[in-house]
Amino acid sequence: MMNIEDEVDNNSIQNFQIIPIMPEAMGVFHIAKEKHLEFKIKIEQILNTADDKYRGHHQSKRESIGNDRFQNVLLDFPELTELHSILKNTALNFIKESGYLCDEVIITDAWINKYPFESTLPNHRHANSYISGNYFIDYDNSINSPLVFVNDRHITSHAPSIKLEADPSKPTPYNKQEYTIVCDESMVLLWKSHLLHGVKTPEKGEGRITLSFNVMPKVVGTGKQFSFAVSENNRV
Ligand SMILES: [Fe+2]
């Protein structure tokens, strides 16, 4: 029979455990160096010559090509057809390797970003998208600012929200403010589109160029209920 001392032990701090559940998947992929250099030249040409209708100038000083719902650089610039197919396959592999059934994906949006000196990118999520990705086209992690994923336990912009101050003497995976992936040129990151992310360090260089894209499974559905299909011709 359990005595009082045992009961105290069972509820003591020594008997307490926190276990990590459901970790977030981040896909990391490198485009082969020769192919990457080919794509880099083509993307720099697009940045230099694209029509004004593709150009966006943002408050945070970021410049973009094709960041409009009616545009998609992977469809609108035929010289990026091979890159389109590589990114599609990579996204499909990411979904399959993380253990989900999917036969085909569609890249619903794709745009090029150029970050001039002192530019940033406010924290945001990608709406109306399942997987998002970033291809680092011109990037030197010793000069260019990192892409940062934010721990939304610290964010109060989505009510209702209850928030406590993190204990600086006790760093854990749960109270970490943010997660920075050290990236290299030619790298492709893939992640669930709801993750909050941004570039908060003002650019110290001039040349940071990335391509961002959103991915949807062609058929979105589970079991026998609730499904829909996404069309390649989705710019509506
Ligand atoms: Fe983004």
Looking at residue 1, its pLDDT comes to 47
Q: Name 117's Cβ contacts closer than 8 Å, sequence gap at least 6.
A: 202, 203, 204, 205, 206
Looking at residue 9, its pLDDT comes to 62
Looking at residue 81, its pLDDT comes to 98
Three-state DSSP state, 35: helix
Q: What is the pLDDT along the chain (236 residues), one digit of tens a residue?
A: 445 555 556 667 778 889 999 999 999 999 999 999 999 999 999 999 999 999 999 988 999 999 998 999 999 999 999 999 999 999 999 999 999 999 999 999 999 999 999 999 999 999 999 999 999 999 999 999 999 999 988 887 666 777 889 999 999 999 999 999 999 999 999 999 999 999 999 999 988 999 999 999 999 988 888 889 998 776 66
Which tokens hold the place of 195? 């993750």
Distance 125 CA to ligand 1 centre (A): 6
Would you state the CATH architecture of domain 26-146+182-220? Sandwich (2.60)
Polymer length in residues for the chain: 236
The residues with which 136 forms a beta bridge, in sequence order, are: 210
pTM, full prediction:
0.90
Distance 87 CA to ligand 1 centre (A): 16
Distance 126 CA to ligand 1 centre (A): 6
Distance 199 CA to ligand 1 centre (A): 9
Distance 151 CA to ligand 1 centre (A): 15
Cα–Cα distance for residue pair 35/68, rounded to 1 Å: 27
Looking at residue 175, its pLDDT comes to 94
Looking at residue 132, its pLDDT comes to 98
Helix extents (H) in the chain? 4-10, 33-49, 73-76, 81-97
Distance 78 CA to ligand 1 centre (A): 24
Q: Name 216's Cβ contacts closer than 8 Å, sequence gap at least 6.
A: 105, 106, 108, 129, 130, 131, 230
Looking at residue 135, its pLDDT comes to 98
Distance 149 CA to ligand 1 centre (A): 10
Domain extents for the chain?
A: 26-146+182-220
Looking at residue 234, its pLDDT comes to 63
Distance 223 CA to ligand 1 centre (A): 31
